[in-house]
């Protein structure tokens, strides 16, 4: 049964890494070192200024991903942590 | 509805010579269609998050529809689609798995206890995964972290379970010499006791022995007085042979 345990473990690892690799959307915003990134709060402030209700902000790859709601519609806003420029807008 | 019942009852008592080719309907057509649709949709949903949102969402809503169908089918479907025995077999699942790891496979026509546990876990996780997935794209729950996390973890658990399900199916196919993957396409399986595996055969042999044992014993009892009447050098085989073939002591 050692073989089966190993097979199960290998399968679980394979599936997890597989799903992690597949689950990538937009994620390249800057090459700047993380230490010199601008704070996430600045990105949220930019979204608010643009009329979005900010729900949450995550780091996705080298992007700030801001969850915003505007006029009852859902958006994911991708800002560059380097200069806070809006790189990508995704309607959900 | 009940077209599988008479066949499954009659088959074990049928002609032993062609028992290995006899199969009975186990999985009804709607259940098979449900199974493969679900498999396809879960596979689609697995590879589409973040990249193909609309396809991912379609798969999720379709799975919700399939779950609803399964819930209904669990009450109105044919014998092995129904949920009657779910509670019973769920309670038997831990012991079943323990025995399985000792190499002892109990044979079931429908889902075995481990399969029932898988079904319950899978349906539950799929419900959690799809509902939280749908909630994620409502204005109220958009960007709410625990909804998102619940969706992510339950979805990954579904994939892990699906993998285990495939492994378990292949393992049981080998152990019980029944192509269970084919059975989910054709809907047909060999009834317990007709296939060559270890489970069915010994118990049938035992029944045969017991039936033979009884006349033997009766003959011995008739002979016993003669033994007792004869020279006492001959050991009395009566008591020993009787305990070995006693239907009561072996039958349980």
Q: Which residues of A touch B (CB under 8 A)?
A: 1, 4, 7-8, 11-12, 15-16, 19, 22-25, 55-56, 67, 69, 72, 74, 92
Q: What is the pTM of this model?
A: 0.70
Determine the pLDDT at residue A6. Answer: 75
Quote the CA–CA distance of A15 and B64 in Å, as a whole number.
Answer: 23
CA of A82 vs chain B CAs: smallest distance (Å): 23
CB B118 within 8 A of CB B139: no
Chain A CB within 8 Å of residue B54 CB = no
- Mean pLDDT in residue range B223-232: 42
Q: Do B164 and A22 touch (CB under 8 A)?
A: no
Quote the CA–CA distance of A55 and B142 in Å, as a whole number.
Answer: 7
Of B50, B137, B171, the CB nearest to A23: B50
From chain B, pick out residues whose CB is under 8 angstroms from the CB of A25.
Answer: 50-51
Chain A CB within 8 Å of residue B46 CB = yes
Determine the pLDDT at residue B106. Answer: 84
What are the C-alpha distances in Å from B90 to residues B68, B87, B95, B123, B189? 21, 5, 10, 14, 22
**pLDDT-derived band of residue B111, with 50, 70 and 90 as boundaries?**
very high
| Chain A with chain B: Cβ pairs closer than 8 A | 50
Partner residues linked to A59 by β-bridges: A64
CA of A17 vs chain B CAs: smallest distance (Å): 11
Residue B232: DSSP 8-state = T
Determine the pLDDT at residue B182. Answer: 96
Q: Scan residues 118-137 of B and list those with Cβ closer than 8 Å to A.
A: 137
Higher-pLDDT residue of B11 and B99 is B99
What are the C-alpha distances in Å from B22 to residues B25, B170, B189? 10, 21, 8
- Residue B75: φ, ψ to 5°: -115, -30
Lowest mean pLDDT among A78-92, B21-35, B100-114, B137-151: B100-114
- Mean pLDDT in residue range B145-172: 96
Residue of A nearest to B163 (CA): A11
- The pLDDT mean for chain A works out to 86
- Mean pLDDT in residue range A67-88: 95
Quote the CA–CA distance of B4 and B28 in Å, as a whole number.
Answer: 9
* Domain CATH number, residue A49: 3.10.450
- The answer to ipTM > 0.90 is no
Where a domain ends, among B191, B214, B237?
Answer: B191
Count of domains forming chain A: 1
Quote the CA–CA distance of B174 and A3 in Å, as a whole number.
Answer: 15
Shared domain check, B210 and B153: no
Domain extent, residue B117, equals 4-191
Quote the CA–CA distance of B22 and B16 in Å, as a whole number.
Answer: 10
Count of domains forming chain B: 2
Determine the pLDDT at residue B107. Answer: 86
Q: Is the pLDDT of residue A7 over 80?
A: no
CB B217 within 8 A of CB B245: yes
Shared domain check, B213 and B235: yes
Answer yes or no: is B26 within a domain.
Answer: yes
Answer yes or no: is B56 within a domain.
Answer: yes
Shared domain check, B176 and B209: no
Domain extent, residue A47, equals 26-91
Answer yes or no: is B196 within a domain.
Answer: no
Determine the pLDDT at residue A12. Answer: 67
Q: Is the pLDDT of residue A64 over 50?
A: yes
Burial level of A29, CB count in 10 A (0-12/13-18/19+)?
buried
Burial level of A90, CB count in 10 A (0-12/13-18/19+)?
middle
What are the C-alpha distances in Å from A57 to residues A74, A77, B16? 14, 9, 69
Answer yes or no: is B39 within a domain.
Answer: yes
Q: Is the pLDDT of residue B29 over 70?
A: yes
Proportion of chain B above pLDDT 90, given as a percent: 61
Determine the pLDDT at residue A80. Answer: 96
Q: Is the pLDDT of residue B209 over 90?
A: no
Residue B167: partners with Cβ closer than 8 Å, 6 or more residues away: A4, A7, A8, A11
Residue of A nearest to B52 (CA): A25
* Domain CATH number, residue B146: 1.20.950.20
């Amino acid at each position: 049964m050692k073989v089966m345990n190993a097979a199960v473990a290998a399968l679980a690892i394979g599936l997890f890494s597989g799903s992690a690799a597949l689950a990538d959307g937009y994620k390249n915003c800057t090459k700047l070192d993380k230490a010199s990134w601008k704070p996430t709060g600045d990105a949220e402030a930019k979204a608010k200024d643009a009329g979005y209700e900010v729900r949450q902000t995550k780091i996705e790859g080298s992007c700030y991903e801001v969850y915003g709601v505007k006029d009852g519609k859902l958006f994911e806003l991708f800002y560059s942590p380097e200069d806070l420029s809006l790189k990508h807008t995704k309607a959900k | 509805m009940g077209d599988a019942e008479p066949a499954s009852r009659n088959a074990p008592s049928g002609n032993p010579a062609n028992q290995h080719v006899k199969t009975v309907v186990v999985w009804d057509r709607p259940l098979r269609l449900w199974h493969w649709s679900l498999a396809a949709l879960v596979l689609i949903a697995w590879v589409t998050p973040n990249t193909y949102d609309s396809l991912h969402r379609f798969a999720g809503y379709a799975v919700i529809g399939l779950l609803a169908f399964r819930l209904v089918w669990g009450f109105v479907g044919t014998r092995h689609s129904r949920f009657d025995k779910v509670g019973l077999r769920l309670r038997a699942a831990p012991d079943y798995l323990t025995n399985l790891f000792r190499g002892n496979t109990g044979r079931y026509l429908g889902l075995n206890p481990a399969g029932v546990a898988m079904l319950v876990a899978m349906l539950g996780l799929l419900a959690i995964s799809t509902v939280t997935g749908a909630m994620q794209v409502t204005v109220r729950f958009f960007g709410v972290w625990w909804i998102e996390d619940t969706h992510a973890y339950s979805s990954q658990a579904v994939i892990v379970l699906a993998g285990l399900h495939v492994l378990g199916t292949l393992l049981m196919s080998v152990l019980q010499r029944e192509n269970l993957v084919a059975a989910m396409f054709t809907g047909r399986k060999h009834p317990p006791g007709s296939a060559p595996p270890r489970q069915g055969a010994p118990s049938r042999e035992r029944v045969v022995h017991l039936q033979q044992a009884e006349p033997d014993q009766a003959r011995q009892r008739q002979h016993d007085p003669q033994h007792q009447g004869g020279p006492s050098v001959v050991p009395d085989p009566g008591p020993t042979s009787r305990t070995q073939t006693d239907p009561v002591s072996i039958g349980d």
